[in-house]
Amino acid sequence: MLPVISSRHVMRHRRIMALLYGGLWLLGCQPSVQADMMPSDNTADESEISEMLASAGQHAAFVVPSTAQLEQATDLFEQMLRGSPPASLRMAWQQLGFGLTTQTVGHQTWWVLQDQRQQGGGFYVFRQDADCWPVALQAPHSFHDLRTRELGLLLMQEGRFAAAAWNTVHRYSMRDHAQQGGEGADRADANAADMAHTDASYFQAFTRAFARRYPHGAILQLHGFSQQKRKTEAGRSADMVLSNGSRSVSSSLLQLNRCFQQQFIGVSRIFPMEIDELGATTNRNASMLRSMGFTGFVHIEMSAPLRKKLVEIKFLRERMLSCVREVWG
């Protein structure tokens, strides 16, 4: 006679297998047991998280953090990326002016960190699952580069990214904005700051912490460009330009570009091999990462038509995500 297996034994077996499976992802998210036991502050959908993100930058004016604040934030970011329980971090983040909540989005658990003082500290999401990719998303110009805010949120929800970061203060002042004629900007502050070109920022602290936590991972930074404003035919006919912020090209960058081309996402070109503009050579996030020996920075410039398609068409995002998974998953 076969032994009777109770549902309790089945569930216990599944939990053990899930723990064993999660342990195989040495580079992936590794949340603590305490973090798994923390109740959710709220059950939210993508639109509610989008509203939280939009409201986080409605009245922000950039205030430069002190060196001590940045060092503390870097340590706190790294703890979150390692899966420390939020109960031990909430008070520390509150002292820096940030609010930390746990949100359930579909079947996912996210930690959402936002600047409550409206001082341009940024908006951050951390996935608390055992099988995430060692990859972060960044949208440092989410007001100016139309649809990069929405695209970053959709990719975070549909992919397996460990974390994502958005700016919450405009990159241009009112005067600079008038001179630039910025595409898609919904506002421009007198106290502005460009998170891709500012060393003393919480956005940069997040970047540094991620490189410490995942030294062999990747940071994909989403940007937008206007084809009409390009200086070369290669730029005017490109849908996407990939670079790592330098004039060198890594094997992972080549692999990602090749996959994008094979997936017919758009005309993708690599700087400086196939195009000599939009190379992000003055990007401060990239230069800081190079000084740390981190080689996984990817600067993704996208045309306005491609950004619109990626936001509106899910199977195109799925193709994009399949390429990220192929390289780093």
Q: What is the pLDDT along the chain (329 residues), one digit of tens a residue?
A: 434 444 444 344 444 443 333 333 344 565 544 444 455 577 666 678 888 888 887 788 899 999 999 999 999 999 999 988 888 899 999 999 999 999 988 888 899 999 999 999 999 999 988 789 999 999 999 988 999 999 999 999 999 999 999 999 998 754 454 455 555 444 545 578 999 999 999 999 999 999 999 999 999 999 999 999 999 999 999 999 999 999 999 999 999 999 999 999 999 999 999 999 999 999 999 999 999 999 999 999 999 999 999 999 999 999 999 999 999 98
- Evaluate whether residue 216 is within a structural domain: yes
- Evaluate whether residue 309 is within a structural domain: yes
The model's pTM? 0.85
- Evaluate whether residue 2 is within a structural domain: no
Inter-residue contact 162 to 28 (CB < 8 Å): yes
User: Tokens at residue 173, please?
Assistant: 């002042």
Provide the number of structural domains found in the chain.
1
- Evaluate whether residue 87 is within a structural domain: yes
CATH number at residue 66: 3.40.630.100
- Evaluate whether residue 282 is within a structural domain: yes
User: Where in the sequence is the domain holding 219, given as residue range(s)?
Assistant: 7-328
How many CB atoms lie under 10 A from the CB of residue 15? 10
- Evaluate whether residue 1 is within a structural domain: no
